Amino acid sequence: MIRTKNEPFSKLRLRPKTSNQYILPKHLKDPTLSCTDHSKGIRSLPAAPYHFLICILFLVVIYTLLAIVEKKLPESVTISNEHKYPNRFVAERARNHLVNLTSIGPRPVGSKENELHAVKLIVDEVKIITKNAQSSHFIEWDLQRVSGSFSLQFLDGMTNVYRNVQNVIVKIGPVKTSRHSLLINCHFDSVVDSPGASDDGASCAIMLELFRIISRFPNPLKNNIIFLFNGAEENMMQASHGFITQHKWASSIRAFINMEACGAGGKEILFQVGPNHPWLLEAYSDSVPYPLASSMAQEIFQSGIIPGDTDFRIFRDFGRISGLDFAWSANGYVYHTKLDTVDKIPLGTFQRTGDNMLPLILKLVNSEQISDVENYSTGNLVFFDFLGIFIVYWSEVLADIINISVIIISLLIILYNASNNHVTGFNVKDYFKSCFKCSILIVLIWLATLLTIAILSLTVTHLDRCLSWFAQPSWLFFLYIIPTILVPMVLLALFGRKFLWGQKGKHYPQSLLYCISRDGNQMLYIIILLVCVLLRIRSGFAVALFVSCNAISTALQNTILKYTYGHKVLWLHWGCMLIPFMLSAYMIQAALLLVVPIMGRSGSGNHAESVMSLITSAMFTLVFSFYNPLVLLLRKVYTLFCSLAVVLLISFLVLVFTPFGFPYSGDPNNLAPQRFMIAHVERSFYNYNGSLRDSQNGLWIVDLDVNSPHSIKSFAPELAKARQISKEECSKELYCGLPYFIPVITFIWKTHWLDTKPMDIKIPLELNLLYRDKRLNNIQRLSFSATGPDHLTFLLSLYDGINLKDWSLSLDKPLEGPQWNGRPTYFVYYSCANDITPWDFWIDLEVNVPTNHVGPQIEVGLAGHRMHGPHQYTTTLKKIFNSFPQWTTTTGWSSAYKSFTL
């Protein structure tokens, strides 16, 4: 290759020595040369590996600081100093309401605690507040007792039937009445054995204080506020359904706020908004002092990945109303346990929620939109808060414009990079081809990383060290985040050059490899962002932020640093990616706060270790994939690899050979207990002729995590005799012949059974077939009468040739559940809160078998649950719970189950 003295490098053309190899000048073989212009030589050496390690440490520090900031709560207003803060929410008074409510004890539906004492407490407080209210407000209240039914496509699907559940409802509005109302909802019932402080007594306590403050304002409201204290949410949202479908005030509601919890304390997050009605989020953004919201959280929650639901669904689906759904998510370890007490909720949490709810409620109820909601009903918003400081939101149309603009600008930058690489023998087409190949390589690296994480998690499981991160989530960093950082960098360094060019003997600059890796990664995320646009995925804002900041970094490298590819590039890129890192770390921290405790109650058959490892790795893959190409600019890169590998190895050895990996904690300052749900069951199975086929008494151990029940066998030796319910048993008996309380057999299918002596508490449970009436067109009506406790479940499965045409259980079409032996199943949940009477119902069957056929047509099961009162626990159940260690928490009750072939 020959050039004249003054001929620029941009004019050079490589001439092949052979068909497969180019000869480059010696200085062009230097791996530090620029990928955009090699004509001006070298300005810096490759970065030392300690630069990268310092950057990782820097990001860890930022993540830690964000975690600390996330826990910060506002100063609380107390009763003693409330005179200094007129019209402010008083956290101490709200907490006092909660103390009074939880002192009643657990409040499952049907208990005296819920139906009498809790109702009286709320009504008495409402009367006191009403008595002291300003005359500018018109206040009335109502005690609703309601019955009904509805189908619910939640978990495995169910039909929900309820009788005499209760709601306390308060309406405050102008003296001159308005036809428009804003609904504020909480629920005061609790699950079995739980005081229900956070879920959801605290929300009701906050609502009482909000009602008191609003009633003291001298100026009237423009419209009405309806405070709904509903008494049956834990029964799959029965009371809210009764209110929104049957109460006289329901038709006036134009929007709602639902207040919930899946943890104790922390900050309330706005995780569902709408549907449509963007003015709701705009009002939230304009009014609240401490925002915390994300459309990504909404899409994740509504996808069903997180097994939960709230009254938001009821108001949306049955009331056709849009609203806002809030929940606390911190300290989910105590959620739905007896540990959910008032002392777990910081006073600052009450203050923060009250300070946010009060201006939001006033903004909504006095807005123009609430009196004309149809004119403001179109469109959804992309939204997220920036570190709890302010809300960022834009319309879906603007989101598309932003995303498409980011895609176009990024492609133009890649095109610029491609057009400035002629000196290497690359034309634009070759450069894009290499970038595309790099995108494929990155996908393969992701798959390899996830495979590595899966193998690592399976190794941890094999060594019986599951859930080491449950009480100490920092273990996730050492076990799964470090390899998520390490594996892609190692693979890129080892195989990047060979994969991109595939021919030996070529001496392309290492800086060129960096540029192609960087742009190939960018091209991959451009494709992902384009998919988000096409599929209307609002969470694409996170991808757009990373892509845009990466484009800014590339542009600055080209314009400011030009051909300098040492540590300056590394620090420039790190600085440009700091904002997306902070935002993603902020969201990841919130996600881990929610997801880690859920793994302790998701069922032992769901492989929590693998699930959690893959979730963690996937989240951090997005964050670090934009940093991985920088490893190509390091000298002595294996020093970096060895450093991270040593940390990973030491962490793994500490986990395996020391007690630091014990997954649970009974420390009051760091509670992370192992959950146990055990029912003492008497079950009976009857033949087609009515004879008793089998009868058993035993403890049904619902394994809520992967370590159950073997983790406590040294404390309760009798559990060593427990046998796992086999697939064979489940194939013979409907729902495995077990008294499932809710339809979760596809989620929690791995359970144990321990035979015991007959129960010392008899549960009256009967299912009587009153008559079988033949009707027209091969229809048979079977009429039943069921008696038992106030919580019943009815299971039904049909033999071949039999179809379920109708039933009296619900006005909806019967909702089918999972298949059992190729046959459809139906799950019906029934509760009676007051005045228990027999549960009478009928089902219509279409019989498509010969008229002379004699034999079974259906399998039915009836379960009765004693979930409160003096007969909730048997002596056997109490004894075994008393032997459990202090790092566990227990829930239990007595049940009866009867199965019939009819």
Concatenating the DSSP letter of every residue in 857-875 gives -EEEEEEEEE-SSTTSS-H
Label the pairing between strands 322-328 and 253-261: parallel
Q: Is 717 exposed, middle or buried (0-12, 13-18, 19+ CB in 10 A)?
A: exposed
The whole-angstrom separation of Cα 856 and Cα 852 is 13
Question: What DSSP element (H or E) covers 435?
Answer: helix 428-462
DSSP annotation of 654? H
The tokens for 388 are: 């709890």
Residues 6 or more apart whose Cβ sits within 8 Å of residue 704: 600, 601, 602, 603, 604, 675, 676, 677, 748
Within 8 A by CB and 6+ apart from 331, the residues are 263, 264, 265, 266, 344, 597, 671
- As given in the structure block, the two tokens for residue 548 are 């845009």
Q: Single out the catalytic residue among 113, 115, 233, 859.
A: 233
Q: Residue 213 class from Cβ within 10 Å (0-12 exposed, 13-18 middle, 19+ buried)?
A: buried
Output b/e per residue, 855-892; b: 16+ Cβ within 10 A. eebbbbbbbbbbbbeeebbbebbeebbeebeebbbbbb
What contacts 116, CB < 8 A, 6 or more positions away?
none
Sheet holding 779-787, edge to edge: 766-774, 779-787, 839-847, 802-807
Query: Which tokens is 156 given?
Result: 């495995």
- C-alpha distances out from residue 558 to 423, 550, 561, Å: 16, 12, 6
Place of tokens 């010392």: 760
DSSP for 796-836, written as a single string: EEE-TTEEEEEESS-SSPPPP---BTTB-EEEEEEEE-SS-
Do the bridges between strand 791-798 and strand 825-832 make them parallel or antiparallel, or are there none, so unpaired?
antiparallel
**Opening angle at CA 273, ends 272 and 278, nearest 5:** 160
Write out the E strands in 133-285.
Answer: 137-152, 158-174, 181-187, 224-230, 253-261, 268-274
Find, among 167, 216, 248, the residue nearest to 362 by Cα. 216
Active site annotation includes 233:
yes
Q: For 136-170, give the DSSP string.
A: TEEEEEEEEEEEEEEEE-STT-EEEEEEEEEEEEE
Distance (Å) of CA 377 to CA 285, 361, 372, 755: 17, 19, 9, 58
Specify the DSSP class assigned to residue 197.
I
Q: Read off the tokens for 642.
A: 């060895």
- Orientation of helix 482-501 relative to helix 637-657, angle to 10°: 140
Q: Determine the Cα–Cα distance for residues 652 and 662; give it in Å rounded to an integer.
A: 13
- Joined tokens for residue 120: 């009286």
Owner of token pair 């605690």: 113
DSSP codes of every residue in 789-801: SSEEEEEEEE-TT
Buried/exposed 484-498: b ≥16 CB within 10 Å, e otherwise: bbbbbbbbbbeebbe
Nearest Cα neighbor of 479 from 497, 455, 502, 500 is 455
618-644 burial: b if 16+ Cβ within 10 Å, else e: ebbbbbbbbbbbbbbbbeebeebbebb
- Cβ neighbors of 333 (< 8 A, separation 6 or more) are 263, 339, 597, 600, 671, 672, 673
Measured CA to CA in angstroms, residue 676 lies from 52, 58, 465, 469 at distances of: 45, 40, 19, 19
The residues that are catalytic are: 233
